[in-house]
């Protein structure tokens, strides 16, 4: 009697399958009277095809600095001085000047705090300030794209009119790349934007490097800066895009779907600190950010448009999570106060899926540079609402009944089966 056993192994990471046939029987024994098993792998005889919806990833914004300091390619830490409430964390001065925070005549209502650099009269050495990056700065031979907003105050003076901006080691003695920027074109007492390229000409194995802004000897006075930003080349060359190496790991996984923007970061620490989609889509100087759910500060520079564009770039389908009236302090929006939050989601979905010709939100998306609607097939209402099942019993139908009627081609996903 011959016993046949067939086992199908599915390797999800490679989306392949094969059949292993193991045969054993009493007649096949060795000299020690031990059964012998033969193994035959038939690569051509494939098993069940795995649907793309069976494997995916989540971009859990903010957790372990998933976006700021992670997937988001920005290398400047605390670029708008919002970390730890309001602070100069990550910044330090060198030479004959000092740094402080200032709120007078801010760059925008979204970014109300800026750095003030004060330089002594008749400075005799190069002086300035620098940034340590999130976990240091890994310098490569390539071009970096930098920008900042600048303002000189009163009679402040930059010798020769030029600032030096670049990268150095921790001692400040070794420079890896530098650009000189003519700031004399900026009118005094007015914010002025500068964008430029920093070419790096040598590598270093150490990440203990700094981004610096330096004034030449002979400069004097008070100067202000905000939204000091610097990017290496990004994935697919996207402006304000994803870090190339981490993005490539995402792409190599070949996920069928990407769930975004979280997670607990969707809900936020409080209702006021939830993910508010329209705070994440404008120019960077108009994005206020919010307190991080897990750590630090959410700049939301890698906002809704950037997230969805990234999902497209890696060939995945987005599962969009929308705020459903519950936050991590345990508070839920009362049933009779839900309508504004439902309207918020309607505007978000119109912004993403409507055409500019017949919808004001679609026109806003086009104005911001994206003419074609996004392909939104799946929308998750809330996040992990088994923690708040008692309120989800009224929140789910309130959202679902309205949204499913307005968007019949979208599949809506509940985050718990309790009480619905």
Tell me the mean pLDDT in the region 22-38.
55
* Tokens standing for residue 416: 């718990």
Q: What is the mean pLDDT of the chain?
A: 91
Burial status of residue 42 (CB atoms within 10 A of its CB: 0-12, 13-18, 19 or more): exposed
What's the DSSP call for residue 357? T
Q: Give percent of the chain with pLDDT exceeding 90.
A: 83
pLDDT of residue 30: 53
| CB-based contact 55:260 (threshold 8 Å) | no
Question: Of 184, 204, 201, 200, which is closest to residue 192 (Cα–Cα)?
Answer: 184
At residue 90, the 3 state secondary structure works out as coil
> In whole angstroms, what is the distance from residue 193 CA to residue 227 CA?
10
For CA atoms 327, 329, 331, 333, the dihedral sign is: negative
Query: Which of the four pLDDT bands, split at 50, 70 and 90, describes residue 17?
Result: very low
Q: Return the pLDDT at 36.
A: 65
* Whether 275 contacts 291, CB under 8 Å: no
pLDDT of residue 121: 86
Model confidence, pTM: 0.88
End-to-end CA distance of the chain: 55
Helix (H) or strand (E) holding 57: strand 56-58
pLDDT in tens, 164-216: 999 999 999 999 999 999 999 999 999 999 999 999 999 898 999 999 999 99
Q: Where are the alpha helices (DSSP H) in 268-303?
A: none
Assess whether pLDDT exceeds 70 at residue 231: yes
Q: What is the mean pLDDT of residues 291-312?
A: 97
Nearest to 254 by CA among 73, 58, 57: 57
Task: Say yes or no to pLDDT of 37 above 60.
Answer: yes
Residue 47 has pLDDT above 80, yes or no: no
Rounded CA separation 116/123 (Å):
17
pLDDT at 45: 67
Asked if the model's pLDDT at residue 105 lies above 70, the reply is: yes
pLDDT exceeds 70 at position 41? no
Domains recognised in the chain with CATH numbers: 2-50 (no CATH), 53-70+240-414 (3.20.20.80), 75-231 (2.60.120.260)
* pLDDT single digits (tens) 389-405: 999 999 999 999 999 99
- Mean pLDDT score, 216-224: 97
- pLDDT value at 417 more than 90: no
Count of CB atoms situated within 10 Å of the CB of 243: 22
Task: For residue 8, name the pLDDT band (cuts at 50, 70, 90).
Answer: very low
* 345-386: pLDDT as tens digits: 999 999 999 999 999 999 999 999 999 999 999 999 999 999
Q: What was the pLDDT predicted at 122? A: 82
Residue 283 corresponds to which tokens in the numbers above? 């120019």
CB environment 346-381: b (16+ within 10 A), e (fewer): bbbbbbbbbebeebebbebbbeeebeebbebebbbb
Please tell me the predicted confidence (pLDDT) of residue 348: 99
Q: What is the pLDDT of residue 53?
A: 79
Give the residue-averaged pLDDT of 310-324.
Answer: 98
């Amino acid at each position: 009697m011959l016993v046949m056993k067939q086992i199908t192994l599915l390797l999800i990471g490679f989306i392949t399958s094969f059949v292993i046939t193991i045969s054993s029987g009493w007649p096949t024994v060795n000299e020690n009277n031990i059964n012998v098993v033969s193994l035959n792998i038939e690569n051509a005889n494939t098993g069940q095809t795995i649907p793309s919806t069976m494997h995916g990833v989540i971009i859990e914004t903010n957790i372990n600095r998933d976006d700021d300091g992670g997937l988001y390619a920005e290398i400047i830490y605390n670029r708008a001085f919002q970390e730890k409430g309001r602070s100069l964390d990550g910044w330090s001065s060198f030479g004959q000047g000092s740094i402080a925070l200032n709120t007078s005549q801010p760059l925008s209502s979204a970014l109300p705090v800026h750095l003030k650099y004060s330089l002594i009269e008749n400075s005799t050495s190069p002086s300035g300030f620098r940034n340590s990056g999130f976990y240091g700065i890994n310098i490569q031979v390539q071009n970096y794209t930098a920008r900042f907003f600048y303002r000189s105050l009163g009679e402040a003076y930059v010798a020769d009119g030029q600032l030096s901006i670049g990268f150095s080691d921790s001692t400040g003695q070794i420079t890896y790349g530098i650009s000189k920027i003519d700031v004399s074109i900026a009118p005094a007492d007015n914010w002025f934007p500068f964008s430029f390229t920093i070419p790096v000409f040598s590598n270093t194995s150490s990440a203990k490097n700094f981004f610096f802004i330096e004034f030449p000897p002979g400069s004097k006075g008070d100067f202000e800066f905000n939204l000091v930003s610097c990017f290496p080349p990004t994935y697919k060359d996207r402006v304000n895009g994803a870090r190339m190496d981490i993005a490539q790991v995402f792409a190599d996984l070949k996920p069928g779907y990407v769930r975004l923007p979280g997670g607990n970061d969707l809900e936020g620490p409080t209702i006021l600190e939830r993910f508010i989609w329209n705070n994440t889509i404008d120019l960077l100087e108009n994005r206020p950010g919010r307190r991080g759910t897990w750590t630090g500060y959410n700049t939301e520079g890698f906002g809704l448009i950037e997230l969805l564009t990234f999902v497209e770039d890696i060939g995945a389908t987005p599962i969009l999570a929308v705020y459903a009236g519950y936050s991590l302090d345990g508070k839920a929006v009362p049933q009779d106060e839900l309508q504004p939050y439902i309207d918020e989601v309607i505007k978000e979905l119109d912004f993403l899926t409507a055409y500019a010709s017949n919808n004001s939100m679609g026109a806003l998306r086009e104005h911001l540079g994206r003419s074609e609607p996004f392909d939104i097939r799946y929308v998750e209402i809330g996040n992990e609402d088994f923690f708040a099942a008692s309120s989800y019993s009224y929140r789910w139908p309130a959202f679902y009944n309205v949204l499913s009627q307005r968007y019949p081609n979208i599949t809506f996903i509940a985050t718990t089966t309790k009480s619905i």
